[in-house]
């Protein structure tokens, strides 16, 4: 297949994303204010609680069976590799740029978590419709491609809210603790000074008899070290488990998209439930049809919100340019190259089957820009919000070029 045909097939979906994203940014401008901050918040809630779960549950239910689950077992592993490799490269970036402590969680999260749902849900159907696509009949390609994208979105959401969420939480809490410790230390020092030297003693050059320091207070504070008691190993383990249970946010972990994925798996894998809901002759097919109707609004709404959120980055922040450039290099150069190596090795070892579309989706998971939910996570902890907006602005602006090039290369790679 000609490289030019592949380039055209790859560029069309990226242009679609760019146009709709640009429309969202235009509608979010202060002079237009159709898609202002409040409007985006309400639309995002509808997408988060209704559109996304319906989209994921509906697509998984139609295409996922027990046999297909066995074939797709490598996708969760592949996404886990993207998170681990991105975290490692993010840590290297932090060491090189000497990033401030309150931004370290943001950098790790942006390097680790990619947009594994929203963009795939747009790119895959558009690629399937193009004549130069190497993935066969458009209808079959679209059906299975949406299932792969939905599964990717669900697994990515689980990793994001269980892994990246806690990284940002720990990073933000540490930076706050450092500030609080500095303040408390200075406060303690002033209190101890006032105890050792009464206020009247500091007002005269020569101390009077009333200002003499008593003998029992002549010893400096903290000079006596308390005896340390060894804590049993079993007690330490119990304390760590209790702390872990308190810190894990199960509400975030089991987000609506994750619940939608669980419902889709159950419907697809259990034959009795599948017979009731899926197919033209299914007794309860109206439920599936309703879910499909709701899911149609997910992709355009998501893309408009992405464009609207990017306007925050236009206000700028004091983030180092080297950090933004480093994240771009990690996400758009190093990670895709690593993805080619991982998928090629996995295919040679027989870990993934020969479906070109499946391999294409696995490769794209390494080339996605940072997850848009990073903005939501930074807002939750009040750390690095403006910096995150700038990172999102530049990474998504450059994504149109990067994704076009990598999509073309990946399509050529899986079809050759």
Tell me what percent of the residues of the chain surpass a pLDDT of 70.
Answer: 79
pLDDT single digits (tens) 209-226: 444 545 454 444 444 545
Look at residue 401 and give its three-state secondary structure.
helix
Distance from the first to the final alpha carbon of the chain: 9
* Predicted pLDDT at 230: 65
Instruction: Using only the alpha carbons of the chain, give its radius of gyration.
Output: 27
Q: Spell out the residues 6+ positions from residue 219 whose beta carbon is closer than 8 angstroms to its own.
A: none
The residues that bridge with 370 in the sheet, in sequence order, are 114
Whether the CB-CB separation of 370 and 113 falls below 8 Å is answered with: yes
Of 127-141, 207-221, 229-243, 345-359, give the range with the top mean pLDDT. 345-359
Residue 178 has pLDDT above 80, yes or no: no
Cite the beta strand spans of 209-318 per DSSP E. Answer: none
In whole angstroms, what is the distance from residue 27 CA to residue 33 CA?
6
pLDDT tens, 260-270? Answer: 888 888 988 88
pTM of the model: 0.74
Q: How far apart are CA 250 and CA 245, in angstroms?
A: 9
Measure Cα distances from 404 to 12, 60, 111, 229 in Å: 9, 27, 20, 61
- Rounded to whole angstroms, the Cα distance separating 110 from 15 reads 23
382: region left, alpha or beta (phi > 0 left; psi from -120 to 50 alpha): left
Q: State yes or no: pLDDT of 2 exceeds 70.
A: no
pLDDT in tens, 12-61: 777 888 888 889 889 988 888 898 888 888 887 888 788 888 888 887 88
The pLDDT value recorded for residue 177 is 56
- Find out whether 412 and 6 touch, Cβ atoms under 8 Å: yes
pLDDT at 92: 94
Mean pLDDT of 186-196: 54
Check if the beta carbon of residue 107 is closer than 8 Å to that of residue 331: no
For the ranges 64-68, 69-73, 209-213, 278-282, which has the lowest average pLDDT? 209-213
The pLDDT-based confidence of 119 (bands split at 50, 70, 90) is confident
Statement: residue 227 has pLDDT above 60: no
Q: What is the mean pLDDT of residues 358-367?
A: 94
**For 98, which DSSP code?**
T
Q: What is the mean pLDDT of residues 218-235?
A: 56
The pair of three-digit structure tokens given for residue 251, joined into one six-digit string? 């509400």
How far is Cα 416 from Cα 414, in angstroms, rounded to an integer? Answer: 6
CA of 359: how far to CAs of 70, 199, 363, in Å?
A: 15, 75, 6
User: What does each C-alpha distance from 173 to 62, 101, 128, 162 come to in angstroms?
Assistant: 43, 10, 45, 17
Query: How buried is 235 (Cβ within 10 angstroms: 0-12 exposed, 13-18 middle, 19+ buried)?
Result: exposed
Q: Is the pLDDT of residue 132 over 50?
A: yes
Q: ∠ CA 107-113-115 to the nearest 5 degrees?
A: 125
- State the pLDDT at residue 54: 87
**Most confident listed range (15-29, 75-89, 273-287):** 75-89
Burial 16-31 (b: 16+ CB within 10 A, else e): bbbebbebbbebbeee
Q: Which band of pLDDT confidence, cut at 50, 70 and 90, is reported for residue 188?
A: low
Buried b (16+ CB within 10 A) or exposed e, 32-42: eeebeeebbee
- The whole-angstrom separation of Cα 135 and Cα 407 is 13
Q: Measured between alpha carbons, how far is 390 from 378 in angstroms, rounded to an integer?
A: 13
Taking Cα atoms as reference points, which of 376, 388, 364 lies closest to residue 114?
364
Give 6: exposed, middle or buried? Use CB within 10 Å, 0-12, 13-18, 19+.
buried
Q: What percent of the chain has pLDDT over 90?
A: 19
CA 1, CA 251: separation in Å to the nearest integer?
48
- Determine the pLDDT at residue 280: 84
Q: Is the pLDDT of residue 204 over 50?
A: no
What domains sit in the chain, N to C, each tagged with a CATH number?
1-174+251-415 (1.20.1530.20)
């Amino acid at each position: 297949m000609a490289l030019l045909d592949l380039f055209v097939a790859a560029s069309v979906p990226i242009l679609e994303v760019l146009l709709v994203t640009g429309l969202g940014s235009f509608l979010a401008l202060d002079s237009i204010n159709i898609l202002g901050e409040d409007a985006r918040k309400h639309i995002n809630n509808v997408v988060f609680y209704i559109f996304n779960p319906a989209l994921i549950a509906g697509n998984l239910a139609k295409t996922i069976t027990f046999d297909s689950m066995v074939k797709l077992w490598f996708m969760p592993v592949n996404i886990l590799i993207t998170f681990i490799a991105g975290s490692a490269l993010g840590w290297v970036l932090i060491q090189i740029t000497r990033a401030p402590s309150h931004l370290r969680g943001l950098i790790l999260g942006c390097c680790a978590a990619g947009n594994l749902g929203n963009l795939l849900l747009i790119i895959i159907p558009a690629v399937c419709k193009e004549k130069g696509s190497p993935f066969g009949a458009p209808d079959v390609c679209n059906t299975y491609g949406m299932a792969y994208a939905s599964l990717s979105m669900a697994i990515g959401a689980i990793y994001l809210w269980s892994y990246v969420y806690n990284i940002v939480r720990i990073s933000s809490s540490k930076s706050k603790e450092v500030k609080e410790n500095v303040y408390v230390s200075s406060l303690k020092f002033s209190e101890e000074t006032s105890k050792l030297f009464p206020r009247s003693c500091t007002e005269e050059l020569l101390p009077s008899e009333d200002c003499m320091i008593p003998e029992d207070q002549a010893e400096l504070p903290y000079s006596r070290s308390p005896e340390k008691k060894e804590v049993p190993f079993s007690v330490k383990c119990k304390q760590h488990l209790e702390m872990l249970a308190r810190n894990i946010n199960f509400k975030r972990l089991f987000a609506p998209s994750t619940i939608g994925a669980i419902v889709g798996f159950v419907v697809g894998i259990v034959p009795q439930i599948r017979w009731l809901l899926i197919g033209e002759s299914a007794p309860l097919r109206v439920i599936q049809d309703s879910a499909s109707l709701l899911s149609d609004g997910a992709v355009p709404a998501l893309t408009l919100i992405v464009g609207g959120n990017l306007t925050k980055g236009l206000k700028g922040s004091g983030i180092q340019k080297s950090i933004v450039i480093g994240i771009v290099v990690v996400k758009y150069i190093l990670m895709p190259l690593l993805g080619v190596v991982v998928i090629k090795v996995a295919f040679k070892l027989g870990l993934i089957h020969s479906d070109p579309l499946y391999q294409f989706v696995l490769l794209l998971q390494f080339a996605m820009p940072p997850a848009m939910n990073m903005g939501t996570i930074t807002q939750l902890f009040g750390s690095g919000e403006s910096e995150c907006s700038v990172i999102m602005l530049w990474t998504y602006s450059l994504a149109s070029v990067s994704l076009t090039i990598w999509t073309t290369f990946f399509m050529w790679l899986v079809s050759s």
